[in-house]
Amino acid sequence: MRAFQVFNAGKPAELTECPVPEPARGEIRVRIEACGLNFADLLMEQGKYQDTPEAPFILGMEVAGVVDSAGPDVSGPAVGTRVAVFGGQGGLAEYGCFPAARAVSLPDGMSAAEAAAFQIAYGTSHLALDHRARMQPGETLLVLGAAGGVGLTAVEVGKLMGARVIACARGADKLEAARQAGADHLIDASEDIRARVKDLGGADVVYDPVGGDQWQAAFRAARPEARLLPIGFASGEVPQIPANHLLVKNLSVLGVYWGGYLKFRPDVVTDSLRTLLGWYQEGRLRPHVSHTLPLAQAREGLDLLRTRKSTGKVVITP
């Protein structure tokens, strides 16, 4: 089979031929129809992600496809079932073996591309806003990087949860995508973010996958008792948090790593996905895939993330 594989940490992945894997105990093998790209794939390729596997490994954290084989001690899903799986690696290939316990059966009508774009982006946003921030209807949510893979879902989920949503992104096209996802107010990232947010009354919850200067601006525009959610650092700069400012304004900074819950509280992820899939079936969520590319163009897909030229998700179709 073909696979997009990292052989040495810190060096670019390569499209190679390798044997089709056999499922181990507790695993299913999936004929992969789509793999969603994430900024973490870039970090993993560089050896900078917190869960970077030992090389060699295949990039691609989340997939959708059809179960075509099962290892010992697997009671389901059955062969032939359409599933989405967060595997953490192994998705940029024609086949992959993943823990059966992580497989989620797909609702009727959900395409493989939508399913591959769904779990991490929507799961991160819902878990962050509901489980971590305990956001309430009527509160003001500021979303940075609001047209990116997770940012756009935060706008959508935040609006569904009853928040007033301020979306910050760079450029008219990205701001229009955020508006269509439900944002009430739009701020171009080239503007004075702090001043604009304060003019709108400040933020109760800040959702930040960007870091850097945007975090600093949002931090200073937060209301007393605001909750700030560092999701990632697409800017390349991990901001330092002044504890004295936390004290003065009674702020809370709540780290969010969706994949980490699979290790110590998988029920949180399961319950969240059940809610999200229910919203999808009700037509209340519309996964946004800006680019769908073949496996041979996986590098091009990663470059779209690196240069922030995509909106929503980039999906690779082996």
Check residue 76 and give its pLDDT: 87
Mean pLDDT of the chain: 95
Residues 243 and 170 in one domain: yes
Question: Contact at 8 Å (CB) between 29 and 1?
Answer: no
Check residue 51 and give its pLDDT: 87
Q: How far is 182 from 166, CA to CA, in rounded Å?
A: 10
pLDDT in tens, 287-307: 999 999 999 999 999 999 999
Residues 203 and 125 in one domain: yes
With vertex at residue 278, the alpha carbon angle to CA 276 and CA 283, rounded to the nearest 5 degrees, is 95
Q: Is residue 281 part of a domain?
A: no
Q: What is the mean pLDDT of residues 128-134?
A: 98
Which residue's entry shows tokens 């970090």?
43
Residues 27 and 79 in one domain: yes
Instruction: Calculate what percentage of the chain has a pLDDT beyond 90.
Output: 89
pLDDT in tens, 146-180: 999 999 999 999 999 999 999 999 999 999 999 99
Buried b (16+ CB within 10 A) or exposed e, 50-84: eebeeeebbbbbbbbbbbbbbbeebeebeeebbbb
Check residue 192 and give its pLDDT: 98
Q: What is the mean pLDDT of residues 184-200?
A: 98
Check residue 5 and give its pLDDT: 97
Q: What is the mean pLDDT of residues 44-69?
A: 94
Q: In the structure, what pLDDT confidence band is assigned to residue 194 with cuts at 50, 70 and 90?
A: very high
Minimum mean pLDDT range among 16-20, 92-96, 234-238, 273-277: 234-238
Which one, of 113, 103, 105, 110, lies nearest residue 82 by Cα?
105
Instruction: Give the helix ranges, DSSP H, for the chain.
Output: 39-45, 112-116, 119-126, 151-160, 172-180, 193-199, 212-220, 243-249, 258-264, 266-281, 298-306
Check residue 94 and give its pLDDT: 98
Check residue 10 and give its pLDDT: 86
Cβ contacts of 104 within 8 Å, gap of 6 or more = 83, 84, 85, 119, 273, 277
Q: Is residue 67 part of a domain?
A: yes
Whether the pLDDT of residue 41 is over 90: the answer is yes
- Bridge partners of residue 292, in order along the sequence: 315
pLDDT in tens, 243-287: 998 999 999 999 999 989 988 998 999 899 989 999 999 999 999
Check residue 159 and give its pLDDT: 98
Residues 130 and 25 in one domain: no
- Concatenating the DSSP letter of every residue in 255-309 gives ---HHHHHHH-HHHHHHHHHHHHHHHHTT-----EEEEEEGGGHHHHHHHHHTT-
Instruction: Calculate what percentage of the chain has a pLDDT beyond 70.
Output: 100
CATH label of the domain that carries residue 26: 3.90.180.10
Minimum mean pLDDT range among 99-108, 181-190, 205-214: 99-108
Check residue 50 and give its pLDDT: 86
Residue-number span of the structural domain to which 159 is assigned: 120-259
**Side chain identity, residue 216:** Q
Question: Contact at 8 Å (CB) between 12 and 65?
Answer: no
Q: How far is 15 from 13, CA to CA, in rounded Å?
A: 7
Q: What is the mean pLDDT of residues 7-18?
A: 93
Q: Is residue 146 part of a domain?
A: yes
Whether the pLDDT of residue 17 is over 90: the answer is yes
Check residue 234 and give its pLDDT: 87
DSSP count for the chain of H helices, then E strands = 11, 16
CATH label of the domain that carries residue 186: 3.40.50.720
Check residue 235 and give its pLDDT: 87
Q: Is residue 280 part of a domain?
A: no
